[in-house]
Amino acid sequence: MNNLDLDKINKEIADRSNVFYWQTDRSVTPEEAGLIWADRHNYFDDKELYELINLTLLKDKLSKLLPLDLEAQTNLGNVSSVREGVLNSGKEVIVRCFPKGVKNGYFHVEKLAADLVREYNLPSYRTYAVHDMKSKDDLAFHVIEKMPGVALQRHLEAYPKDEKSLVFEIGSMLARLNKIEVDGFGPFDNEKAKTGKLEGLHNNLESSMNAGLNFNLDVLVAEKIIDMNQSKSVKSFFQNNELLESKKSYLIHNDFADWNVLVDGKKITAILDFDECVGGDPIQDIACWSTFFDPDRLEFFLDGYWSVADKPTDFLEKFELFRLRYVISKMTLRVRRYNWEKSEFIKEKIKKGSLHLIESLKYFGI
């Protein structure tokens, strides 16, 4: 990463004030993203990480750090490099690291969000340490409790017949999470989180929904995914819309996908990865979840969700509006990522996203 201006990148990358979905809207070019994240597992060695972790942990030190395993469920994501380890006490831990020299601006938020979820008797991890990057030769990381179970994605690959019952359960669990009230809307302020306060960067839902929207639409117009008239129409739906007048804000996981939920085959054992969590309207989380999967899955998910939550009368209108916002965001992420990762996986993601986008534009008559 010697060719990158890390000072400039680090100044901007942790600022989520104009971010709807961080992986989409972070202030790096596709080329910079490729240099930073494509080879993120190889910017440091285990000895270096082991020593740094034990400088950070106050009492219960790390006795063992396991070698990198790219096939493990802990490395199903796209941002962090993940290791497993064991403390002297025998506790098993997970270490999530950012690439060397790259600032993380959300680990403190993640800690508070996971703590809050546990307070509401939902299964999530304890955080043992957070380390902020201090120089270009340093690593940002946090050390968290290793939770029992396997990723739902892995389980369903082996036991596809369990999908209906487990999707019902994750729907009901997300509904419970979405009942947790928070202050403010949109991404949370990481600096305030360092003092123990979880507070959104926006004063209202409309402002948080419009964050990054112009950038997203400009990318999709440039890539010929949509045209200029469609872009103008989309913008209009997020201006002075009574559906965006929510008075209360609730915890939104924002990435409640099969790779961020652990199961033991019968029940959900853990909710992981709060690095995209925000404050907002609960229907956001349903809309976000729907963009990951085929539409026929949504029925099981909603059955579970409404078994816990009351279905609002304006659900369909809000769901379609929020789904449009997420599809716009995720299509932006995918077409930009394809610039540095020209894989069949990303091509398939773009194809699936295009189908969601067509459905959303059709619903709004665009």
H-run or E-run covering 363: helix 344-363
Q: Are 45 and 179 contained in the same domain?
A: no
Q: Are 42 and 112 contained in the same domain?
A: yes
H-run or E-run covering 51: helix 46-56
- Per-residue pLDDT at 352: 84
Region 283-311 average pLDDT: 94
| Banded model confidence at residue 341, pLDDT cuts 50, 70, 90 | confident
- Per-residue pLDDT at 35: 79
- Residue 305 in domain: yes
CB neighbourhood size of 24 (10 A): 22
Beta bridge partners of 221: none
Rounded Cα distance between 124 and 110, Å, is: 11
When mean pLDDT is compared across 149-153, 266-270, 332-336, 340-344, the lowest value belongs to 340-344
Owning domain of residue 114: 6-145
Distance from first CA to last CA of the chain, Å, rounded? 42
Q: Are 175 and 98 contained in the same domain?
A: no
CATH number at residue 319: 3.90.1200.10
- Per-residue pLDDT at 288: 96
- Per-residue pLDDT at 345: 85
CATH number at residue 104: 3.30.200.20
Q: HSE (CB half, 13 Å, CA atoms) of 198?
A: 24
- Residue 167 in domain: yes
Q: Is the pLDDT of residue 76 over 80?
A: no
Q: Say which residue, 304 or 265, is predicted with more confidence.
A: 304
Rounded Cα distance between 144 and 160, Å, is: 30
Does the pTM surpass 0.85? The reply is: yes
Q: Are 314 and 174 contained in the same domain?
A: yes
- Per-residue pLDDT at 74: 61
Q: Give how far Cα 244 sits from Cα of 174, 201, 234, 265, 326, Å.
A: 21, 16, 14, 38, 15
Q: Are 335 and 248 contained in the same domain?
A: yes
**How many domains are there within the chain?**
2
Q: Give how far Cα 341 sits from Cα of 31, 207, 290, 335, 349, Å.
A: 10, 32, 24, 10, 12
Q: Are 51 and 107 contained in the same domain?
A: yes
Beta bridge partners of 250: 181, 280
- Per-residue pLDDT at 281: 98
Region 175-204 average pLDDT: 97
- Per-residue pLDDT at 265: 84
H runs (alpha helix) in the chain: 6-13, 22-25, 30-37, 46-56, 107-119, 152-158, 163-177, 190-193, 205-210, 213-222, 228-237, 282-290, 298-306, 315-337, 344-363
Exposure letters 265-299 (e unless 16+ CB within 10 A, then b): eeebebbbbbbbbbbbbbbbbbbbbbbbeeeebbe
- Residue 17 in domain: yes
| Domain boundary residue, one of 86, 110, 145 | 145
What pLDDT, in 10s, does the model give residues 25-66? 998 887 888 778 777 777 778 888 899 899 888 889 999 998
Region 57-80 average pLDDT: 77
What pLDDT, in 10s, does the model give residues 217-230? 999 999 999 999 99
Q: Is the pLDDT of residue 1 over 80?
A: no
Q: Are 172 and 306 contained in the same domain?
A: yes
Q: Are 310 and 217 contained in the same domain?
A: yes
- Residue 1 in domain: no
What pLDDT, in 10s, does the model give residues 234-259? 999 999 999 999 889 999 999 999 99
| Domain boundary residue, one of 98, 120, 145 | 145
Beta bridge partners of 183: 199
| Domain boundary residue, one of 112, 145, 178 | 145
DSSP for 288-325 reads: HHHTTS-GGGHHHHHHHHHTTSPPPTTHHHHHHHHHHH
Rounded Cα distance between 245 and 223, Å, is: 32
Q: Are 110 and 186 contained in the same domain?
A: no
Q: What is the mean pLDDT of the chain?
A: 91
Region 133-140 average pLDDT: 88
Rounded Cα distance between 81 and 326, Å, is: 25
- Residue 122 in domain: yes
- Per-residue pLDDT at 229: 96
253 Cβ contact list (under 8 Å, min separation 6): 174, 177, 260, 271, 274, 276, 277, 285
Q: Give how far Cα 131 sits from Cα of 86, 89, 108, 147, 306, Å.
A: 18, 21, 9, 21, 39
| Banded model confidence at residue 77, pLDDT cuts 50, 70, 90 | low
Q: Are 121 and 157 contained in the same domain?
A: no
- Residue 74 in domain: yes
Which residue type is seen at 48?
E
Rounded Cα distance between 91 and 341, Å, is: 37
Region 148-172 average pLDDT: 94
- Residue 36 in domain: yes
